[in-house]
Amino acid sequence: MEKIRIFDTTLRDGEQSPGASMNLDEKIRLARQLERLNVDVIEAGFPSSSPGDFESVKRIAQEIQGPQIAGLSRTTPADIDRAWEALRFARSPLIHVFIATSDIHLQYKLRKSREEVLEEAGRAVAYARRYTPEVEFSAEDATRSDPEYLARVVEAAIEAGATIVNIPDTVGYIIPTEYGKLITFLRQKVKNIHKAILSVHCHNDLGMAVANSLAAVENGARQLECTVNGIGERAGNASLEEIVMALKTRRDFFSSYQVGVVTEQIYPASRLLSSITGIMVPPNKAIVGANAFAHEAGIHQDGVLKEKTTYEIMRPESVGIGQSTLVMGKHSGRHAFRERIKTLGYELSEAHLNQAFQRFKEVADKKKQVFDEDLEAIIADEILRIPDIYKLVNLNVVSGSVVVPTATVQIEIGGKVYQEAGFGDGPVDAAYKTISRITKTKSRLLKFSVNAITGGTDAQGEVMVILEEGGVRVTGQGAHTDIIMAAAKAYINGLNKLEYQKRIKGA
């Protein structure tokens, strides 16, 4: 069996998706989940792109022990030095150097000749190899490059010491059979190709990123670059869960390959990512969408009840869905709570456990049954927040068909409680206007969405907002059985994140 390496780039290419930026704590939390998922490589960021990216690559390199940690770098010595500075503490560091090879990029973006790029690629790889034995070289826009020239660049990169060569479909342009032929061509044409692992990195502009990745495997690629939920530039990257489950579910077809991913951690990874970024997974999304294992048509339901395999090609439990049926209620004790939290993959300090347990009891008092999704929302809402500058103390809203919606809000800022009352077009509007008056903030609300975390009228509501101020965009989340409370919490969470960003930038 040949190993297919799973190279996760959620924290680098994924984070380049509009609205997907994460702070340091969020990146570390996601990196820990990627470690539980057992991916082979975590691309933690692009160290020279910003001080924040540098810091997060460095922290992830220091804290994550399982997967190899990669950092992206352009071909300049300064970029490579910076990447190494961030990666040097990793158990197994990987410098990932890239330069474009298509004529379009050479002419309009780099303004360099083919010979110059060829020479620069080799020089950069050799420079990176002075630091570490593992260097990946990517030929950006490879699929729109002249294949003969691409082969020369790949050969030069391997000659200079690249241990992995990546052939990205940067703009999601290629068709699976064409990609397969390109990979085969490179394997035949590049004399030293056996000295490196062939990797692919596919974007989803034409909806073929996963199909292209699998076609590349059939033709010799042994590393696949992908992201959780398929997030990434524009239409995103190849989705990790789809690639992995295709290889596992169709083991009959892909019989000579194996992947090391712990598939039961797929759904928790997907949920964690969307709770951090606020980017919801569409219900019909393969593997992790809410409807991915839901059977609606009568004929299908009948078939599944008689024999699951009539309409199910995978078991939901195999991707970590379905264990959530264990229900907790107000009589559940601390011990059961602690055990459940552990099973969900969270390691909380004693103080955080107490805090979460207290909130769980409040929720359990209001709801008959508390599901795993509720517990995850409690943890995201109570524990995994950045340090709060604004804390909601009290919210009272009066609204109805004959009264003007009015909100009275108390917020603690720097140890002092401030109170205001205000009107609005509806209860949420009244609360938001009053909150922004107390906090003296001027953010724009770009998106507001409400989700019921589980079914029933007593379900917790999960509100997600996207706020923007001075060109900085953040997401805010809040969960509560009272939807207006959830909305206020989401807004204040967003304001706290904006304030946090301002402080980081000012620092």
Nearer to ligand KIV among residue 98 and residue 346 (C-beta): 98
Stretch that binds ligand KIV, among 112-120, 165-173, 248-256, 473-481 (CB under 6 A): 165-173
Residue 98 sits in the site that holds ligand KIV (CB under 6 A): yes
Nearer to Zn ion among residue 155 and residue 169 (C-beta): 169
**Contact assessment for residue 311 and residue 299, using Cβ atoms and an 8 Å cutoff:** no
- Where b means 16+ CB within 10 Å and e means fewer, 211-229 reads bbbbbbbbbbbbbbbbbbb
Nearer to ligand KIV among residue 58 and residue 203 (C-beta): 203
Nearer to ligand KIV among residue 71 and residue 405 (C-beta): 71
Stretch that binds Zn ion, among 6-14, 245-253, 332-340, 348-356 (CB under 5 A): 6-14
How many angstroms separate the CA atoms of 39 and 66, rounded? 9
Which DSSP symbol is given to 260? -
What residue is closest to Zn ion based on CB? 13
Token pair, residue 491, equals 């807004």
Residue 136 sits in the site that holds ligand KIV (CB under 6 A): no
Residue 168 sits in the site that holds ligand KIV (CB under 6 A): yes
Residue 15 sits in the site that holds Zn ion (CB under 5 A): no
Stretch that binds ligand KIV, among 166-174, 319-327, 343-351, 440-448 (CB under 6 A): 166-174
Distance of closest approach, residue 43 Cβ to ligand KIV, in angstroms: 9
Nearer to Zn ion among residue 13 and residue 26 (C-beta): 13
Residue 152 binding partner per list ligand KIV, Zn ion, none, with a CB distance cut-off of 5 to 8 Å that depends on partner kind: none
R_g of the chain computed on alpha carbons: 25
Nearer to ligand KIV among residue 201 and residue 359 (C-beta): 201
Please, what is the Cα angle at 118 between 40 and 77, to 5 degrees?
65
Interface residue with ligand KIV, options 15, 140, 155, 372 (CB under 6 A): 140
Tell which residue, 151, 168, 180, 250, has the closest CA to residue 205: 168
Q: How many CB atoms lie within 10 A of CB 101?
A: 28
Distance of closest approach, residue 158 Cβ to Zn ion, in angstroms: 21
Number of residues that bind Zn ion (CB under 5 A): 1
Stretch that binds ligand KIV, among 79-87, 162-170, 183-191, 342-350 (CB under 6 A): 162-170
Residue 138 sits in the site that holds ligand KIV (CB under 6 A): yes
Nearer to Zn ion among residue 238 and residue 377 (C-beta): 238
Distance of closest approach, residue 180 Cβ to ligand KIV, in angstroms: 19
How many angstroms separate the CA atoms of 186 and 93, rounded? 26
Please, what is the Cα angle at 263 between 258 and 267, to 5 degrees?
150
Range 170-189, binding ligand KIV (CB under 6 A): 170
How many angstroms separate the CA atoms of 450 and 486, rounded? 9
Interface residue with ligand KIV, options 144, 201, 367, 497 (CB under 6 A): 201
Collapsed DSSP state (helix, strand, coil) of residue 256: coil
Nearer to ligand KIV among residue 138 and residue 275 (C-beta): 138
Interface residue with Zn ion, options 13, 53, 372, 374 (CB under 5 A): 13
Residue 13 sits in the site that holds ligand KIV (CB under 6 A): yes
Residue 140 binding partner per list ligand KIV, Zn ion, none, with a CB distance cut-off of 5 to 8 Å that depends on partner kind: ligand KIV
Q: Provide the pairing of β-strand 197-202 with 257-258.
A: unpaired
Nearer to ligand KIV among residue 200 and residue 292 (C-beta): 200
How many angstroms separate the CA atoms of 170 and 176, rounded? 14
Phi, psi of 321 (to 5 degrees): -100, 145
Q: Does the CA dihedral 155-158-160-162 come out positive or negative?
A: positive
Q: What is the full DSSP assignment across 18-73?
A: TT----HHHHHHHHHHHHHHT-SEEEEE-GGG-HHHHHHHHHHHHH--SSEEEEEE
Q: Which residues bind ligand KIV (CB under 6 A)?
A: 13, 98, 138, 140, 166, 168, 170, 201, 203
Q: Which residues bind Zn ion (CB under 5 A)?
A: 13
